[in-house]
């Protein structure tokens, strides 16, 4: 094949178009990624999360100041309305994170089920202990969920009534030498967004009794806020009754205020992750492999052709240079994705992109070897 018949200007235009398409598809800035999607609900005091919203505290001393081995008791209460959609995967209503995913404590939502657990076994592939409840029947109204955990096990309440008790399940709040932070509406990586409104949140360094839970729910029904928890020894307490500003005041008196910055924030970038539990041969996984590989084949084709014409390189050197250039472009995109909530930085994507560029370069090299 006579590869010199294609005008150089056309090749350069094709190269620019391919590169621009790869960057746009890779960074995918379609969700106003620099805007934090947090606001106020229309039906009263609260904080509302849309996709890619986040609120968080600065790191603070542990909620339960004791050694993890002692497994002290604690309780959390949250009033919310869920708008989380099934297609959005596992969304996090809140998490306590101290820098270690294995020790984090969180409340998430998967389809119509809420989940409390330690660790990051979101898809339950590792069978990590958890406690769950279905909220499908209450999807359109505000509900109050209370979790109590300690040496005697874990109890889950909904609207003042006991839903489930697991005596063998002992959940813990992170702490110890590392200082945790509270994150609402997302994970520290920004890739587990939850959609809905939170009307109150409280954490206690002790176990609430069944009578306490029922009493709290009754007072919530009267006032529609968490003012009942003031003076009850909370470690964190948010009423979300602020009318302006980007901060929700911690009414426990400990100064652990929630920040809602104007720009979306990834608190812990995860660069070139390679989690083994993500490699499942589902349709989405196979589609992701195909897109990442095929997407860089045109890059290898076009840039090998350009290098052959512009630099006058031999075919083998032009192919190698094209693959290295594809690797560099893919690496830059993957690093950038670590700070974008709608994207995830993956080592597998980098390998597939580079392989696609290599395949494209090889096809051009075979066609133009003469």
pTM, 2 dp: 0.85
pLDDT-based confidence at 8, cuts 50/70/90? confident
Percent of the chain with pLDDT over 70: 91
- pLDDT, mean of residues 37-60: 91
Q: Is the pLDDT of residue 161 over 90?
A: yes
In the chain, the percentage of residues whose pLDDT exceeds 90 is: 62
Res 176: pLDDT? 72
Q: What are phi and psi of 327, to 5 degrees?
A: -60, -45
Domains (range + CATH), the chain: 3-31+273-367 (no CATH), 38-259 (2.60.120.200)
Over residues 63-82, the pLDDT tens digits come to 876 555 556 899 999 999 99
What are the Cα distances from residue 34, in Å, to 29, 105, 200, 239, 340? 9, 27, 27, 27, 9
Higher-confidence residue of 250 and 61: namely: 250
Distance of CA 59 to the CA centre of its chain: 18
Give the Å distances, CA to CA, from 175 to 65, 252, 336. Answer: 8, 19, 31
370 band by pLDDT with thresholds 50, 70 and 90 = low
Residue 279: per-residue pLDDT: 56
């Amino acid at each position: 094949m006579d590869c010199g018949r294609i005008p150089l200007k056309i090749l350069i235009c094709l190269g620019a178009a391919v590169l621009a398409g790869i960057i746009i598809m890779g960074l995918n800035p379609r969700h106003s990624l620099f805007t934090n999607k947090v606001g106020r609900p229309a039906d009263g005091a609260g904080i509302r999360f849309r996709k890619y919203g986040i609120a968080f505290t600065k790191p603070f001393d542990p909620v339960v100041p004791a050694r993890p081995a002692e497994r002290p008791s604690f309780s959390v209460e949250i009033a919310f309305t869920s708008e989380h959609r099934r297609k959005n995967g596992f969304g996090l209503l809140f998490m306590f994170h101290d820098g270690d995913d294995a020790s984090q404590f969180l409340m998430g939502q998967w389809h119509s089920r809420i989940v409390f657990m330690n660790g990051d076994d979101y898809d339950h592939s590792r069978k990590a202990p958890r406690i769950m409840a279905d909220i499908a029947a209450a999807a359109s109204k505000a509900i109050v969920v209370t979790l109590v955990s300690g040496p005697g096990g874990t109890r889950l309440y909904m609207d003042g009534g006991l839903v489930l008790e697991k005596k063998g399940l002992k959940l813990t709040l992170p702490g110890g030498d590392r200082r945790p932070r509270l994150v609402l509406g997302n994970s520290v990586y920004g890739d587990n967004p939850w959609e809905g409104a939170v009307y109150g949140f409280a954490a206690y360094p002790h176990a609430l009794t069944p009578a306490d839970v029922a009493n709290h729910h009754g007072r919530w029904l009267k006032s529609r806020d968490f003012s009942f928890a003031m003076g009850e020894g909370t470690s964190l307490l948010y009423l979300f009754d602020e009318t302006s500003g980007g901060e929700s005041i911690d009414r426990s008196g400990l100064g652990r205020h929630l920040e809602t910055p104007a720009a979306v924030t990834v608190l812990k970038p995860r660069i070139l992750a390679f989690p083994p539990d993500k490699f499942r041969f589902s349709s989405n996984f196979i589609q992701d492999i195909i897109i990442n590989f095929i997407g860089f084949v045109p890059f290898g084709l076009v840039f090998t052709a350009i290098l052959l014409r512009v630099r006058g390189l031999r075919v083998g050197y032009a192919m190698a240079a094209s693959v290295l250039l594809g690797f560099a472009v893919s690496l830059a995109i993957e690093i950038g994705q670590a700070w974008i909530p709608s994207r995830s930085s993956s080592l597998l994507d980098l390998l597939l992109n580079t392989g696609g560029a290599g395949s494209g370069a090889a096809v051009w090299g075979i066609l133009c070897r003469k």
